[in-house]
Chains A and B, each alone.
Chain A
Amino acid sequence: NTDLPGGWCKRPPLCCRCRPTHGDLSGLGESVSVVLMGIALQVCHAACNGELYSRPFIESFEETPMLLAVLTYMSYGILTIFGYLRDFMREWKIEKCHTAREREEQKDFVPLYQDFENFYTRNIYMRIRDSWNRPICSVPGATFDLVECSSNDYNWTFEYTGRVVKDVINLGSYNYLGFAENTGACATAAGEVTVKFGVGVASTRQEMGNLDRHEELEKLAASFLGVESAMVFGMGFATNSMNIPALVGKGCLILSDELNHASLVLGARLSSSTIRVFKHNNMQSLEKLLRDAIVHGQPRTHRPWKKILILMEGIYSMEGSIIRLPEVIALKKKYKAYLYLDEAHSIGALGLNGRGVVEYFGLDPKDVDVMMGTFTKSFSAAGGYVGGRKDLIDYLRTHSHSAIYATTMSLPVVEQILTSMKCIMGKDGTTIGLSRIQRLAENTVYFRRRLQEMGFIIYGNNDSPVVPMMLYMPAKLGAFGREMLKRNIGVVGVGFPATPIIESRARFCISAAHTKEMLDRALDVISEVGDLLHLKYSRHKVLPSLDRPFDETTYEENEE
């Protein structure tokens, strides 16, 4: 049936107007059914995205229930009132002040600690602070050991109780392929190199920090990504913030997604280009900005922009959404802009061979102008890379701030990346890498499906190993972390400055090191805590991701 005219409609059934016809043509005669199928396909081909996507792109962000939003605002209101009360008591010395304050001589200066962020930290974050900054005393693999802490003065100070909580299931580390281990080929290789070369490099890349292992790593990274050339840096955050200023400057335009990571935002601001923000993963917003930029040019002189750079990430870690790469590349080619893709979370985690989001969509790596990524997540090392054409990387070698001023990657880390990358590519002769990638994909699909069946609100794409689960209320954020730790599971809760104030969430990171028993245990515990805290908010009004923005005609599609 796949060689009918117009191609086979590959949109998921919920979005496709031709869903009712797929099943009930079995009883009709063959010629009639072919004709009807042809008509139906012509109908649904117009509503589909054409041939851009080869598999259904199922991404959902369920809307916040109105009652929950009202209750969350009410709880923040109560916390704010009590925050004002405590600030009053601290000001009038009724209560001892544990936070930073200005000195007596500086009381007439511009106040330092009166903005909302400091108020929030003093009065809301401090009360549930024991769910963060917990000290770990083992390798953060699939399980870890936690040093137990307790607080006598409501989280202002902590003491060690002396006990260690053993074998806490780790749902928070970015350990996607399970390479965070202290045994195995990677650890042995890193140990040998430490004995031979030491740990520190003690120089920058352009002075004496360029070792042959770095060049080997760069060649391997370039062949892993499918690009001509690559360059590695010692710190992932610094890769973004130090290289974007080297690529764009005054007179250039940066189009940045609204939910970009702080390193991309910092790099864009440091470059002193004009920055315009488009709505998250919204191709209509991006196209409108591109058209406006090309038609109107620079703000006052109307000269054409020197360069237009689109900054996007492969997987957004707070939402779990995957970039719509085929559409971005089509737009980029149409309007002659450049694309900077930050694959921090998606390299190694997506794609059949772990080559990232470009392989996941089956596209050509040469279409992405600057492919950046980090080794922190799937390779369990530290540092970042930038890959692209040879002349681009040669330019970066001389002009990047990180190459001139920052120390290079230390050799044990280089060795860890080399070994893990060879393992993923299969160059060490085993199939460990491929089996880990497959296990990660299975774990992701299983975990997401079970959580959605239980009735939690889960954001993001069905294939992303980052699973944000919505909690909304600040008290539930603190309670969730504590209750999960009581039952020996470590999770990461995310609250205000990283997310919008009412949308606090717990973010699970699935790993290939998790066995099915661990995931089942974790899911049972999450269900139990979800019942205890009443977290199963989903009303299964999952809106399928549309290929055009919400306008009058989308009501007809949703009526099915």
Chain B
Amino acid sequence: MALGDAWKQLSWFYYQYVLVTALYMLEPWERTIFNSLLITVAAMAVYTCYVFMPQHIMAILHYFEVVQ
């Protein structure tokens, strides 16, 4: 039951995303291209965060002289 509600909510969010970015008007293969590009860019951002976040946090803490 909760899974069904969550699925309905998720599909409403996907519908809003598709309306706001005008993917609603595009053909399915165009939607696939756009979604793949978006997921690729988002994945790259997440990976960069994962690789570089520790160094960045250490640099910030070093700047504020919280840690040597």
Contacts of B19 in A (CB 8 A): 473, 475-476, 479, 533-534
**B-contacting residues, A477-495, CB 8 Å:** 478-479
- Name the one of B18, B20, B22 contacting A79, with C-beta atoms under 8 angstroms: B22
Q: C-beta contact mask, A198-215 vs B, less than 8 Å → 1, else 0?
A: 000000000000000000
Minimum CB–CB distance for A119 against chain B, Å: 15
Contact between B20 and A82 (Cβ–Cβ < 8 Å)?
Answer: no
B65 within 8 A of A: no
Stretch at the interface among A70-78, A137-145, A354-362, A383-391: A70-78
Check if A187 is an interface residue, CB within 8 A of chain B.
no
Task: Pick from B12, B15, B21, B25: contact of A127, CB below 8 A.
Answer: B25
With A78-B34, A82-B30, A534-B16 as contacts: A478 and B21 at CB distance below 8 Å: no
Instruction: Establish whether residues A474 and B27, one from each chain, have CB atoms under 8 Å apart when the complex forms.
Output: no
Give how many A-B residue pairs fall within 8 Å (CB-CB). Answer: 46
For B34, the chain A residues whose CB sits under 8 A away are 78, 82
CB-CB contacts below 8 Å: A455-483 with B: 473-476, 478-479
Report B-chain residues with C-beta under 8 Å of the C-beta of A478.
24-25
Minimal beta-carbon separation of A373 from chain B (angstroms) = 38
Asked whether, in the complex, the Cβ of A474 is within 8 Å of the Cβ of B16, the reply is no
Cα(A473)–Cα(B15), bound, Å:
14
> CB-CB < 8 A to A78: which residues of B?
21-23, 34
Chain A residues within 8 Å of B53, by CB: none
Are A71 and B25 touching (Cβ within 8 A)? no
B44 interfacial contact with A, CB 8 Å = no
| Chain B residues in 8 Å Cβ range of A84 | none
Q: Does A197 contact B (CB under 8 A)?
A: no
Q: How far is the CA of A76 from the CA of B25 in the complex (A)?
A: 11
CB distance from A125 to the nearest CB of B (A): 10
In the complex, are the beta carbons of A127 and B20 less than 8 A apart? no
A475 & B18 in contact (Cβ 8 Å cutoff): yes
- Give CA–CA (A376, B18) in the complex, Å: 39
Pairwise interchain contact A127-B26, C-beta atoms closer than 8 A:
yes
> Which B residues touch A82, using CB under 8 A?
26, 30, 34
A475 near B16 (CB under 8 angstroms)?
no
Contacting pair A75 B16 (CB below 8 A): no
Measured between C-beta atoms, what is the minimum distance from B19 to chain A in Å? 5
Most buried by B among A76, A124, A479: A479
**Hey, which chain A residues are within 8 Å of B26, CB to CB?**
79, 82, 127
Interface of B is mostly: helix
Interface size, chain B (Cβ < 8 Å)? 15
Is A79 within 8 A of B25, CB to CB?
yes
Q: When the two chains form the complex, which single residue of A75, A85, A154, A534 contacts B22, counting CB atoms closer than 8 Å?
A: A75
Distance in angstroms from A481 CB to nearest chain B CB is 12
Chain A: CB-nearest residue to B18: A475
Task: Tell me if A128 counts as interface (CB < 8 A to partner B).
Answer: yes
Tell whether, in the assembled complex, residue A74 and residue B25 are in contact, meaning their CB atoms are under 8 Å apart.
no
Contact A76 B24, beta carbon cutoff 8 Å: no
Chain A hits for B24, CB < 8 A: 475, 478-479
Q: Which residue of B lies closest to A478 (CB)?
A: B25
Question: Are the CB atoms of A75 and B20 closer together than 8 Å?
Answer: yes
* Chain A contacts for B23, CB-based, 8 A: 78, 475
Q: Are B20 and A475 in contact, CB atoms less than 8 angstroms apart?
A: yes
Contact B27 A475 (CB under 8 A): no
Residue of B nearest to A476 (CB): B19
* A71 and B30 in contact, given A128-B25, A474-B25, A478-B25 (Cβ under 8 angstroms): no
Kindly provide the distance from the CB of B1 to the nearest chain A CB, expressed in whole angstroms. Answer: 22
Partner of A74, one of B12, B16, B21, B30: B21
> How many angstroms between the C-alpha atoms of A479 and B17 in the bound complex?
13
Chain A contacts for B20, CB-based, 8 A: 71, 74-75, 473, 475
Q: Which residues of A contact B15 (CB under 8 A)?
A: 532
Closest to B19 in A: A475
- Measured in the bound complex, the distance between the Cα atoms of B34 and A293 in whole Å is 54
Interface string of A122-134 (1 = CB under 8 A from B): 0010011000000
A228 CA to B53 CA, complexed, in Å: 84
CB < 8 Å neighbour of A76 from B18, B22, B27: B22
Contact of A124 with B25 in the complex, beta carbons under 8 Å: yes
On chain A, the residues within 8 Å of B30 by CB distance are 82, 85
- A151-185 vs B, CB cutoff 8 Å, 1 = contact: the mask equals 00010000000000000000000000000000000
- Complex Cα–Cα for A128 and B19 (A): 13
What residues of chain B lie closer than 8 Å to A154, measured between beta carbons? Answer: 27
For residue B23, give the distance in angstroms from its CB to the closest CB of chain A. Answer: 8
Bound-complex Cα distance A74 to B16 (A):
14
Contacts of A476 in B (CB 8 A): 19
Nearest chain-B residue to A535 (Cβ)? Answer: B19
4 smallest CB-CB distances across A and B, nearest first, come from: A75-B22, A475-B24, A127-B25, A475-B22
- Chain A residues packing against B (C-beta within 8 Å): 71, 74-76, 78-79, 82, 85, 124, 127-128, 154, 473-476, 478-479, 532-534
Chain B interfacial positions (CB closer than 8 Å to A)? 12, 15-16, 18-27, 30, 34
- For this complex, 25 residue pairs linking A to B, each with C-beta atoms less than 8 Å apart, are A74-B21, A75-B20, A76-B22, A78-B23, A79-B22, A79-B25, A79-B26, A82-B30, A85-B30, A124-B25, A127-B26, A128-B25, A473-B19, A473-B22, A474-B25, A475-B21, A475-B22, A475-B23, A475-B24, A478-B24, A478-B25, A532-B12, A532-B15, A533-B19, A534-B19
With contacts A75-B22, A473-B22, A474-B22 known, what are 8 further pairs, Cβ within 8 A?
A: A75-B20, A475-B20, A475-B21, A475-B23, A478-B24, A532-B12, A532-B15, A534-B19
